[in-house]
Structure 1
Amino acid sequence: MQSYEVPTPILNSPFHPPGEYWYIREGEAPERRGGRRRSVVFPPRDQRREWDLSDGVLNPSADYPGGYELTLVNLIRERLDAWREQGWPGVTRTTLELLQWWRRDGRDKRLFFAQIEAAETVIFLKEARPDFLQGIAVPVDEPSSQQKENGIRAFSRYACKMATGAGKTTVMGMIAAWSILNKVNSRGNARFSDVVLIVCPNVTIRRRLAELDPEAGEGSLYRMRDLVPTHLMPLLRQGRVLTMN
């Protein structure tokens, strides 16, 4: 067996938070550890410019030589766990109903932990009680000087990095439903929008994403994946999901 091979590659259930992982380093025997692996990134082999570590987003990893710990990601995970354990303090009634609906016992179509956590993370950054967000500052995407002259403003980008097959389209549906339903129920709340824009790479994928249109009703992803209760579908159809290339 090679040093990087392990007897049991899969240690965790897709429906529960990670509880174990393999700690692997070149030249050493794999070590089975408890808990969740810290988020770490490695620079590309052909990297030409060193990463800027001044903003504290990245820090050299003590466990993985040559790797960098995603400090902000790990902090958000820790706060998110605490926020969830306390019942998501700060969220609207609409959001609470959705969170409970996604996690309820007896679902025929269970959602993966990764899907729920991805949607929860976006919700956390927008709705969590302020004390949970202390020290969390997501860097803003600043436009160039030329772009600013053309009227383009800085904006916040929240990225959910998920593996192939993890169900990213379902997460898009969860976030779209959360935003639209909250906006419909509170028109003056600027944190939400009842119009969602999805940009995809080609026509084939755009056709597949038609299931994210609330007008599809029972044929939409919201019902096929049981993301939105039946009684909320009329409200969801008051919003729009636009998909384009």
Structure 2
Amino acid sequence: MSYEVNEPILNSPFDEPSQYWFIREGYEPELKEGRRPAIVYPPREGNTEWELGQVLKLSSPDEFFPGYEMTLVNRIRKEVKEWRRQQYPGVSRTTLELLEYWSREGREHRLFFAQKEAVETIIFLIESRTDFRQGIHIPQDTPIDSTLKAFIRCACKMATGSVKITVMGMLAAWSILNKVADRSNAKFSDIVLIICPNITIKSRLQELNPDNGEASLYRTRDLVPSHLMDKLRRGKVLVTNWHIFEKRVVADTDQWERAAAYIIDNHPATAAFVKNERLGFTIPRLYYPSEDS
């Protein structure tokens, strides 16, 4: 049986999806109205059972089985849509100005629906009127280290090609401008930390620095109106690699100490580590130019 469809693209990237192909094993593809629910499929190999509850629900056989419906995501999507329809009750004047600026008619650089919805969702969870969030419980992320407090991690899962850097810029501008407008508001920060996986991406993300002015992403992609740029520059966007957070251990032999120093100084993008069983610590061991490397 073929699962190919004659019209794979049904929706504009600038509007909320209104149709989707319903595809199941053993059945012909079926065109359905509305937006496809958020679902996730477990790996075909493996028998790990996922925890159910307010976050996930096993789909019924006549729907997306063996997938799991992301019930929390679908609930939030529904509430965000209604909140948007009512013109974002609960948000600050600064936030409302940005939301209207991003959605205004005649934009040279139109934003994708996925970009706007991702930002709206984060704003919704922080600023929306409490009645919209009633019954929505975001599970806390509990650190392994018992001395650290649990916290809420908000993540936007976005497809390749959805231009995630634009979403990062929108969220950075939202947080910084709100903090500058009201220094006493603990919901916001005027310092944004961006952690990336390698030097190449770190270089690309430098356009998120507000100090670049008209050359920054905030102006080249029309994310912040010109009259707010001076306020935006009062904040800081720090871009770094994750390696800076790796625990550095000083070796008790000259050879291992030189290896660590060389790699940390010359190859910060490396992600290779080995365990020295005799000395009892982990140390990077890649690219060190010695005879026994």
* TM-score for the superposition, normalised by structure 1: 0.96
Aligned to 1:188: 184
Aligned residue in 1 for 2:275 = none
**Aligned position for 2:57:** 59
Where do residues 144-159 of structure 1 align in structure 2 (5 Å cutoff)?
A: 144=144, 147-149=145-147, 152-159=148-155
What displacement does 1:56 show?
2.1
Is 1:3–1:27's contact at 8 Å kept on the other side of the alignment?
Answer: no
Aligned to 1:24: 23
Structure 1 residue 132, shift from structure 2 partner: 0.3
- Shift of residue 40 of structure 1? 0.7
Alpha-carbon separation, structure 1, partners of 2:26 and 2:44: 19
Following superposition, the deviation at residue 222 of structure 1 comes to: 0.3
Which SS does the other structure have where 1:56 is aligned?
coil
Do residues 136 (structure 1) and 136 (structure 2) align?
yes
- Give the structure 1 partner of residue 37 of structure 2: 38
- 1:148-187 equivalent positions in 2, closer than 5 A: 148-149=146-147, 152-187=148-183
Larger radius of gyration: 2
Following TM superposition, by how much is the alpha carbon of 1:218 offset from its aligned partner in structure 2, in angstroms? 0.4
Aligned pairs, number? 239
1:123 paired to 2:123: yes
Report the AA paired with residue 31 of structure 2.
R
Tell me whether 1:219 sits opposite 2:212 in the alignment.
Answer: no
1:3/1:26 contact within 8 Å kept: no
TM-score by length of 2: 0.80
Post-superposition shift, 1:41? 0.6
**Separation of aligned partners in 1, 2:214 and 2:151:** 35
Q: Deviation of residue 179 (structure 1)?
A: 0.3
Amino acid in the other structure paired with 1:217: G
- Offset of residue 143 of structure 1: 1.2
Equivalent-residue separation in structure 2 for 1:47 and 1:100 (angstroms)? 46
User: How far apart, in 2, do the equivalents of 1:237 and 1:48 lie?
Assistant: 51
Residue number in structure 1 paired with 2:7: 8
Distance 1:72 1:235 in 2: 36
* Counterpart secondary structure, 1:141: coil
- Structure 1: gaps spanning 5 or more residues: none
Task: Kindly state the Cα deviation for residue 78 of structure 1 after the two structures are TM-superposed.
Answer: 0.3
Aligned residue among 198, 201, 222 for 1:202 = 198
- 1:127 maps to amino acid: E
Quote the offset at 1:64 in angstroms.
Answer: 1.1
Q: Secondary structure at the match of 2:26?
A: coil
SS in 2 for 1:32: strand
Separation in structure 2 between the aligned mates of residue 92 and residue 198 of structure 1, nearest angstrom: 24
Whole-Å separation in 1 of the counterparts to 2:135 and 2:191: 30
Letter in structure 1 aligned against 2:32: R
Determine the structure 1 residue equivalent to 2:102: 102
- More displaced 10-residue stretch of structure 1: 37-46 or 186-195: 37-46
- Any idea what the Cα deviations from partners look like across 1:96-119, whole Å, max 9, x if unmatched? 000000000000010000000000
Report which stretch shifted further, 44-53 or 66-75.
44-53
Higher relative contact order (CA 8 A, sep 6+): 1
Verify the 8 A CA contact 1:3 1:28 in the aligned structure 2. no
Letter of the 1:73 partner, please give it. Answer: V
Q: Which amino acid is the alignment partner of residue 76 of structure 2?
A: I
Within-5 A mapping of 1:60-99 = 60-62=58-60, 63-99=63-99
Alpha-carbon deviation of 1:48? 4.3
Contact kept? 1:21, 1:32, Cα under 8 Å? yes
The AA in structure 2 aligned to 1:167 is V
SS in structure 2 at match of 1:193: coil
Contact 1:195 1:241 in 2 (8 A): yes
2:154 partner amino acid? Y
